[in-house]
Structure 1
Amino acid sequence: MILPRDFYGRDTVEVAQDLLGCCLVHPEGRKTTAGIIVETEAYLSGDPAAHSYIGRTNRNEVLFGPVGHAYVYLIYGMHYCINVVTGEEGSGEAVLVRALEPVIGIPVMIGRRGTPTLSRLCSGPGKLTRAMGITRECNGVSFVNGPLQIRTRENTTGPNPALKPEIVRTTRIGIVKAADKPLRFYLKGNPNISRK
């Protein structure tokens, strides 16, 4: 089942944890790819590390729009990152999807990433977007009725999808501002999480 819009309109920290074990899907016919979300980071209103901290701009406008939409941006001039807009509309809050465990379209992902090592295909925000074929064109699309989907745990194909896994909470990585906030979440023991 595709997660409903009201799933995202809740406390962002809770959403970041509840997304773990769900499945991000990019339906593209023979190039369809999907992965179980194994790592997330929460970015809150008033958070110096959040793109919304400076207020509305052309680049971050999606963050202030309806929840359940994708906020996709380019970092270092070469890597896309995908976030899910959460919280209350207008709050500028989002959850960064940091890593996936590949489950569908693995040969396609290998071709896009150029590495045969499964645990490295989607072990970081830039890696997963490249493997999944997610670009800036996905910015602003709905996860409820758009070209990207997030499905409930019950419909994933990974091991024990109906069981809520053990979650580790720690500080965020790859940022300078507010790096001490414990807003990073990942599935304990999963080999696909990103590295510091």
Structure 2
Amino acid sequence: MILSWKPPIRYNPKLIGSYDVESGAYETPGSSFDYLALLAGQPYPKTTDTPPVFFQCKAKKLLEHDCLWLLGGIPLVSARLADFLRQQAPADVELIQPLRLVADHQEVSQPYYIVNAIQAVKAIDHARSEAQRDDDGTLLYFNKTWFLESAPGMGQIAREPESGDLLISATLADRLIDTGFKGDKGLGLYSAERRFVPYRNNA
């Protein structure tokens, strides 16, 4: 089974990191950073700056979690979870340490890593999904989403190019849950069954 890995329902907005001191900033002034490069399902461009990351919460609160979220639905994970992903999905992810990690104007010295999926895999079950398209037939969004049970090229983690979902195998999701990694409200794991359904109550 293929799942979506995204911010949990009713996720604390103070635990969503931006790329500038201003809350909600998708860009870093004076930098070549482009968050869309982290949604492309390919290696992060070597010529692009690594972003700083800023949270509104206190550092103590941030450090309680193994999995946090950045704007754009991009995971930021603790060193412990990063090591787990290196072992379990070495060919599927790139782990990028932010230029700076700041929580409530305080530098955080403990390392956290941005998770970048370096593979793009088409996993939408078009026979059951329902899409909204513009007059030219360009896909806008899905009204109903189903994932295929398996998809060619799917390893443990990938990006879905049509929906933008960060995909994770149920096998790896089970290991994440069973190992005891922590996130606010859960780890944000969902199955796509017309609507997105929390997987094992982890959203």
- The higher radius of gyration belongs to 2
More strand by share: 2
More helix by share: 1
Task: With the length of structure 1 as denominator, give the TM-score of the two structures.
Answer: 0.28
Task: With the length of structure 2 as denominator, give the TM-score of the two structures.
Answer: 0.28
